[in-house]
Amino acid sequence: MKENLKTIFYALIIALIIRSLFFQPFYIPSSSMEPTLLVGDRIFVTKTTYGYSRHSFPFSPGTSNKRLFFNEPKRGDVVVFKTPADNRTDYIKRLIGMPGDVIQFIDGDLYINNNQVLKTKINNKSFEIFCGDSPINVSAYEEKLPNGKSYIAVYRNDATFKNSDKYLVPNNHYFFLGDNRDCSRDSRFLTSVGYVDKTNLVGKARIIFFSNDNRSKDLMNLFKLPKTIRLDRFFDRIKWKIIQKN
């Protein structure tokens, strides 16, 4: 019994070190990052990418706002961060605005520092996109950021986010958007998310290691459960992935 307890203790310590310093698994519970990430995706996030803060560790111990071995995130990265509202809840969004940037929506188009982000409509594919548990009608676009990074963003056809005031990103802060633009609580909502301090960055989303469709009614049937597993998403690098309707 003593040897078994020692083995379990050492295993827990090793797992804690790996989780805190190198890789941490996360589960995707919402549709805010569709089509890049789906509800039911399990992903690995690298902790080394942006360095370490108190939020790199379980329960975010301490009150320090310092970040060790800091590396500047890149525009277009998919990032896990702690929401500024409570410094506890994990969100995952795409980094759009860097410190000092001015972000604005004009007639449904995204502008960075008064320059329109190149947006090309995707007409040759149909998309299955949800907001919560409800399917929504969207148009999909490939957006290209100033640094050349491209991704897929979707906008509702019936009630898209058209215009906004200018968002001026403070020093040492970042501005995030969900790829599912009209079904995402992100930096546009200043009272609940807003600008994210660099201390709140947890890590960069890298790979999907498992995925299953949690919306499927087959989850209640053990014999049909394997049909809900999305094998085509296993070990996908997180950039963007097209979801086609059947």
Bridge partners of 203, per DSSP, are 80
Label residue 62 exposed, middle or buried (CB < 10 Å: 0-12, 13-18, 19+).
exposed
The catalytic position among 47, 93, 198, 204 is 93
Mark whether 93 is an active-site residue: yes
The catalytic position among 30, 32, 184, 187 is 32
Mark whether 56 is an active-site residue: no
Instruction: For CA atoms 203, 230, 148, 107, give the dihedral sign.
Output: negative
Say which residue the tokens 């896990």 belong to: 80
Q: How far apart are CA 89 and CA 116, in angstroms?
A: 32
3-state SS of 98-149? CCCCEEEEECCEEEECCEECEEEECCCCCECEEECCEEECEEEEEEECCCCC
Enumerate the active-site residues.
Answer: 32, 93
